[in-house]
Amino acid sequence: MEHKRIRVGVMGAAKIARRSVVPALLQLADRFELVAAASRDEAKARQFADEFACQPVTGYDALLARNDIDAIYMPLPTGLHAEWVGKAIAAGKHVYVEKSFASTASETEALLGAAQARSVAVMEGYMFLYHRQQAVVVDWVEQGLIGELRHFFGSFGFPPLPADDFRYDEVTGGGALMDAAGYPLRAAFHLLGNELTVQGASLRRCPSTGTSLWGSAFLTHASGLGASIAFGFDNHYQCRYELWGSKGKLVAERAYTPGPAFAPRLTLETADDRREVAVEPDNHFVGAWLAFAQAIADPNHRSEHYRQTLVQSRALQAIRDLAGH
C-alpha cells in the first residue's frame, strides 16, 4: 500500500462503532488513520466526526467516492450489506463489516467473488476470536487437559430488546439467527474446524412478523464430533461455551463479549480436579483491527477470511433452510 497507515472511513454511526470499535482503532495510530465518518443524516455525521476528530460525510456514496480512504468499517445492519459491501468492494476499498456478513449464502458468495476479483480484504466482525481467552482455550485443548474432544456446546442469548430495535426487522436486522446465532456457531468452527456440517435446526419465529426470536442447531464432523448451539432474543442471559472431552470439561464464561477491563473466567474440570482461571483482560476490538491489517497486507490471511466468512454464511443458511423458512 502506498501509504504507511491504513486510511479508514466509517459507514454508519452505530452504537458499537462509537462505544468500542472506533476507540480501539484510535489506539492503533501507528497502523490506522481515521479519516471520515458517514451517515445519511448530516447531523449524525457531524456529531460522530466531532467526537472522534475526523471529517463528516453526508451519504454513503460520498464516502466511497473519496480517494483518501483505503478501507471501510461498516456497522450497518445485515440487510444493507449486499448493497454497501458490494459498492465498497467495487470502489476498491477493503471492508471490515459487522456480522452477519450478508443475509444469505448466495449474497456472501457474490460479494466474496467480487472481493477476490478486486484483491481487497473483507473481514467479518467476530471480535471475540481475537481475545486472549480463545488462545488459552486452544492451548489447553492442544495440551490434552480434557483428553480427546467429544462435543461442543455454545449458547448466546439475552432478554428481549426494545421493541423498535432493528434486529427485530427480519429483512434489515435478520432476527436472532443473523445476530445471536453467529457467535456460538463461529466459536464451534474456530474450535472444531470448518468441516462441521449443519444436520438439524429449529427456529421460533414471531407469529406476526416472521422474525426469528430463538432457536438451536446441531452440527457434525466426519470424525464423529458433534456441536450444538442455542441462541435467542427472548432468553435468560447466556454467553458461554463448553468443550466436553474424554477426560474433562472446559467452560468459557462470557465467551463472546468480555469488555476490555473484564477478566473472563475459564473452568477446567476433570475426575480429580476442578479449577477456575481468570484470563487477563484484553481488548479484542484492538485485536480485530490488527487482524484486519494483516488481511490487507497478506494475501494468505485475506484468503483465510474469505473461507471463514463463506463457511459461516453457508451454515447460517443451512440453519434457516432446515428450520423450514
| DSSP secondary structure letters along 228-281 | EEEEESSSS-EEEEEEEESSEEEEESS-S---TT---EEEEEESS-EEEEEPPP
- 63, 36 in Cβ contact below 8 A? yes
Please give the positions annotated as active site.
Answer: 99
161 shares a domain with 50? no
Measured from the Cβ of residue 191, the count of other Cβ atoms closer than 10 Å reads: 21
Sheet holding 265-270, edge to edge: 197-205, 212-220, 226-232, 149-157, 238-245, 248-252, 265-270, 274-278
CATH number at residue 72: 3.40.50.720
From CA 110, how far away is CA 8, in angstroms rounded?
Answer: 24
Q: Is residue 162 part of a domain?
A: yes
247 shares a domain with 218? yes
Which pTM value belongs to this model?
A: 0.96
Q: Are strands 226-232 and 149-157 parallel, antiparallel or unpaired?
A: parallel
Residue-number span of the structural domain to which 85 is assigned: 6-125
Residue 161 is classified by DSSP as P
174 shares a domain with 59? no
Residues β-bridged to residue 72: 9, 95
pLDDT (tens place) for every residue of the chain, 325 residues total: 445 899 999 999 999 999 999 999 999 999 999 999 999 999 999 999 999 999 999 999 999 999 999 999 999 999 999 999 999 999 999 999 999 999 999 999 999 999 999 999 999 999 999 999 999 999 999 999 999 999 999 999 999 988 888 999 888 999 999 999 999 999 999 999 999 999 999 999 999 889 999 999 999 999 999 999 999 999 999 999 999 999 999 999 999 999 999 999 999 999 999 999 999 999 999 999 999 999 999 999 999 999 999 999 999 999 999 998 6
From CA 95, how far away is CA 86, in angstroms rounded?
Answer: 10
